[in-house]
Amino acid sequence: MTDNEVPSARGLFRAAQRHAQSMPQPIDIGAQNVRVTNFMSVGLTRARDGFLHTLLESTFKAQTFEQVILESREAAGKLQALGMAKRVNVALDKGPDDGVRVLFQCEDGSRYALKTGVNVGDDEGTANVTGRINNVCGGGEVLEASYSRGSKTQAAFQGSLSLPVNADPRRHIEVSASQTMADARPYSAHDEVRRAVGVAYRATGSMLTHDVRCTAAWRDICNLGPEASPTLRTEAGHSVKTSLAYTVSHDSRDSPTVPSRGSLVRATAEVAGLLGGLKFAKVHGELQTNQRVGTDFVLATGVQGGLLVGPGRSPLSDRFFVGGQTSVRGFEFRGIGPRDHNDSIGGDVFYAAGVSLLTPLPYVQTPALRGHLWANAGQLALLDDRGLLRKTQRGVREEVRRFFMCPSVAVGVGLVYHHSMVRVELSCGLPLVAALNDRPKPGLQFGMGVQFL
């Protein structure tokens, strides 16, 4: 061996030692007293140290190898759910001080997104463009802005900043601001401008979803048409609302648009006037059940109801409206309840119920297109001297009894198409019972949306 060969051999030996030290070391899987002493991420370019500390807090507290694996996988899943990483591979090896080192090998998530789309619902279609910045400050924050126009919405803008709570994608705080200019014609001869700012907290659990929202809104009923009714002219002008609302829901349906099994329960309570402005209390509830009958039939039932109470007459912008293809079928959009001339003025109390049977169609192979048999009923009224509390020979008790016992009713048949994002209905309806102020719509009726009665 020559003198020149000796240093070369030593260099190879040292390089091999360094390589062995850098390679994952075997760890004792059966060890019960395990502690995580080190964390390293590869490919995750935007993440605050404080965020990672919160994300991995449970991982560092794990005391068994099984707990380390479960907590590490859960932390990796949160990174993906927050959009900070597209994919995360978790590796464990021996760390310093006889501990365990957790390694996340990540593919960084997309930072910017721009998309266009079409939304349908409430007898309206809107086109929108949305821009989003993900992971704004390295903690899973999302900054989003959208602009939309539609057949009734002249222009709508909304901006929001969503912040995860304790690095948990199931809990968010959202700060938002919006402005909407909508044309209420032809069911009411006016436009309405709404400007609002709000803060919301949303938490999604295994059974229930909770939403607490504080909103300050400035509404303006304007641009009255020459045919506007006296009631509408009285309601016109500005109004300010500050409110606190709480919504709780449980949704076990297998599809939000055309479910074949499962149920939806949702309840909302709102109190306005906490910081001034309009004062009222409002509650709204919804129940929907779906179950298979045989192998190819689906029976769906739905019930909705709401109540709005406050001092004096209620504001038009906060009232309930009933009628239309996504509400009580067989009637025009907002075609049930109080009216003044040609203007629908809404109500303070309502209920609606429906039953539907989805059936297979002969010679149709795709399950996305189904037959539809339905029956709907509903009623809407004001809680003042123009509605249930007006003085008549029958009295208030009889007016309330008639309200619950004499709903507007329609039945019909049609087709339902199940798109991946929307439900499309074509129905032929026959109104059976209608009040004098109602606007029944016999014959064909077309509707698109997500929420149907």
pLDDT reading at 96 higher than 90 = no
Residue 2: predicted pLDDT: 43
Can you tell me the mean pLDDT for 364-391?
91
pLDDT of residue 117: 82
Q: Residue 300's pLDDT is what?
A: 97
> What pLDDT, on the 0 to 100 scale, is given for residue 366?
87
Band (162; pLDDT cuts 50, 70, 90): very high
Task: Give residue-wise pLDDT tens across range 319-328.
Answer: 999 999 899 9
Q: 431 falls in which pLDDT band (50, 70, 90)?
A: very high
pLDDT at 67 over 50: yes
Q: Say if residue 112's pLDDT is above 50.
A: yes
Average pLDDT over residues 78-92: 91
How does pLDDT run across 4-36, given as a tens digit for each residue?
444 454 554 455 555 545 555 555 555 567 888
Q: What is the mean pLDDT of residues 206-222?
A: 95
pLDDT of residue 23: 53
pLDDT in tens, 180-201: 999 988 889 999 999 999 999 9
Average pLDDT value for residue range 116-142 = 85
160 pLDDT above the threshold of 60: yes
- pLDDT, one tens digit per residue, over 307-356 is 999 998 899 999 999 999 899 999 999 999 999 999 999 999 999 999 99
Mean of pLDDT values over 205-230: 94
Output the 3-class SS for the chain.
CCCCHHHHHHHHHHHHHHHHHHCCCCCCCCCCCCCEEEEEEECCCCCCHHHHHHHCHHHHHCCCHHHHHHHHHHHHHHHHHCCCEEEEEEEEEECHHHCEEEEEEEEECCCEEEEEEEEEECCEEEEEEEEEEECCCCCCCEEEEEEEEECCEEEEEEEEEEEEECCEEEEEEEEEEEEEEEECCCCCCCEEEEEEEEEEEEEECCCCEEEEEEEEEEEEEECCCCCCCHHHHHHCEEEEEEEEEEEEEEECCCCCCCCCCEEEEEEEEEEEEEEEECCEEEEEEEEEEEEEECCCEEEEEEEEEEEEECCCCCCHHHCECECCCCCCCCECCCCECCEECCEECCECEEEEEEEEEEECCCCCCCCCEEEEEEEEEEEEECCCCCCCCCCCCCCHHHHHHHHHHCCEEEEEEEEEEECCCCEEEEEEEEEEECCCCCCECCEEEEEEECCCC
pLDDT at 97 over 50: yes
Please give the average per-residue pLDDT across 270-294, as a whole number: 93
In the prediction, which pLDDT does 433 show?
A: 96
